[in-house]
Amino acid sequence: MSTPSVTSPARSRWLALAVIATGLLMTILDGSIVTVAMPAIQNDLGFSPAGLSWVVNAYLIAFGSLLLLAGRVGDLIGRKRMFVAGTALFTLASLLAGAATSPALLIAARFLQGLGSAMAAAVSLGILVTLFTEPRERAKAIAVFSFTGAAGASIGQVLGGVLTDALNWHWIFLINLPIGLAAIAVAIPVLPMDRGLGLAAGADAAGAFLVTAGLMTGIYTVVKIEELGWTSAATLGLGALSAVLIAGFFVRQATARNPLMPLRIFRSRSVSGANLVQILMVAALFSFQVLVALYLQKVLGYGAAETGLAMLPAAAIVGAVSLGVAARLNARFGERTVLLSGLVLLIGMLGLLTRVPVHANYVTDLLPVMLLAAGFGLALPALTTLGMSGAGADDAGLASGLFNTTQQIGMATGVAVLSTLAASRTGTLLADGQSQPAALTGGYHLAFAVGTGLLVAAFIVAFTVLRQPKRTPAERTDDENVLVHAG
């Protein structure tokens, strides 16, 4: 069994959560902090316009394609070992990225960062759910974890602008060194040691190759859609190859003696439904994270730091909701109800953005949108709890890796699809004689409308597929027992 052999004291558990959250924060920050420094990196290292995109793509491809494999390997060799090794690799790769003197070296370092992030992030939720078994504490821990991920991207945009302006782009990577070393130093004594199931319980080399190659090919295809086009031979061919590889992986898992990913995990409605909801929700909300930032800069003329500050109310409200009330609402009304309520707020948020004007006033046109982001603070902790509730202790790392993988697939697909739709609509409006700001705004309106549709689909799936997990009287929180006795 992979369950920790000893129960950690309360203080150690919360220290462990701090370590896990720190690792997640570095991962999320690294995905967004680099975006505002791209012009400086291009000028300093001489990237071509096409080559510059690989500063982001190299990280995304490694991270997204290796999460599922890393999660299962963590179950086999021990999740603590996987987390510490991943954090160490990420920290070393950050040093290489910060010291890079050529495009090739920076891209290689970014790939290694993605690999290290995948190793650490894939097992984070698995460690969390085995540390916090009491429902009230687990709800609070998941709320902290969810807030860290939701706020990290907004913080990264502000921090990236400040570091690049005040120092230089090298420091967006070098800042990870003290954080990573501190995380490792605390993780070694604090995280519970688990022996894992052993490689013999799931050493499926063929399955590992198929799923990694399939996901890597698929994510590569998605990130290149804007450049290659939807119907190009390259896009269709690579998409077909990815589908064949992933289909082959599932066939292999159904027949392998020791499968890398036992298909029993998908028998749980909670696991399957939550991952489908997450793909739809994250794909939609990436239009908020990316396209709102573009709207602020390209239409309203905000600078990089101003853009980050303008989006900080969203991060603040997500933090206040996820850390302040989400756990209590989940305990009182159930995760399914809270998830549905959060999705309603998010539908309203993107719905308002479909009408945002060319000459917007921040207080009246955009601040209400930022405040409706509170729905994410409700939805993500509830969805995370539902997604992990159907996994046993031996599959916690696999379920964690799967949950993170669908998140990355949703992000990559969302940014490719919605950005392409926005660009296409903008081009059409420019050809019709509209001004650049009006054409850009029209393109963003279309993307936000499609994102709204994705959120509606996520609501329908959550309403029809997900069920509230049943708890025994011993597992109920105090709030739940009061409601039971009152009924």
Indicate whether 176 and 291 sit together in one domain. no
- Its pTM stands at 0.73
The pLDDT value given to residue 7: 42
Indicate whether 397 and 295 sit together in one domain. yes
Please indicate, yes or no, if residue 198 is contained in any of the structural domains: yes
Please indicate, yes or no, if residue 239 is contained in any of the structural domains: no
Which one has a higher pLDDT value, 10 or 381?
A: 381
The pLDDT value given to residue 2: 42
Q: pLDDT at residue 228 above 60?
A: yes
- Boundary (domain end) residue, out of 154, 179, 203: 203
Please indicate, yes or no, if residue 222 is contained in any of the structural domains: no
Please indicate, yes or no, if residue 37 is contained in any of the structural domains: yes
Q: What is the CATH number of the domain that holds 305?
A: 1.20.1250.20
The pLDDT value given to residue 200: 59
Which one has a higher pLDDT value, 39 or 274?
A: 274
Of 457, 454, 326, 329, nearest in space to 380 by CA: 326
Tokens of 365: 């046109």
Residue with tokens 């609501």: 459
Q: pLDDT at residue 480 above 50?
A: no
Indicate whether 89 and 190 sit together in one domain. yes
- Tell me how many domains the chain contains: 2
Q: What residues make up the domain containing 321?
A: 265-487
Please indicate, yes or no, if residue 293 is contained in any of the structural domains: yes
Give the rounded percent of residues in the chain with a pLDDT score beyond 70.
Answer: 82
Count the helices and strands in the chain (H runs, E runs): 22, 0
Residue with tokens 């394609």: 65
CA 8 from chain center: how many Å? Answer: 28
The pLDDT value given to residue 479: 43
- Boundary (domain end) residue, out of 186, 203, 220: 203
Instruction: Give the separation between CA 392 and CA 404, rounded to whole angstroms.
Output: 17
Of 313, 227, 17, 239, nearest in space to 137 by CA: 17
| pLDDT band at residue 116 using 50, 70 and 90 as cut-offs | very high
Buried b (16+ CB within 10 A) or exposed e, 87-97: bbbbbbbbebb
Please indicate, yes or no, if residue 317 is contained in any of the structural domains: yes
Q: Which of 34-38, 206-210, 223-227 has the highest mean pLDDT?
A: 206-210
| pLDDT band at residue 392 using 50, 70 and 90 as cut-offs | low
Indicate whether 121 and 270 sit together in one domain. no
Q: Which of 121-130, 230-239, 363-372, 469-478 has the highest mean pLDDT?
A: 363-372
Instruction: Give the separation between CA 39 and CA 49, rounded to whole angstroms.
Output: 10
CA angle 408, 348, 379 (to 5 degrees): 45
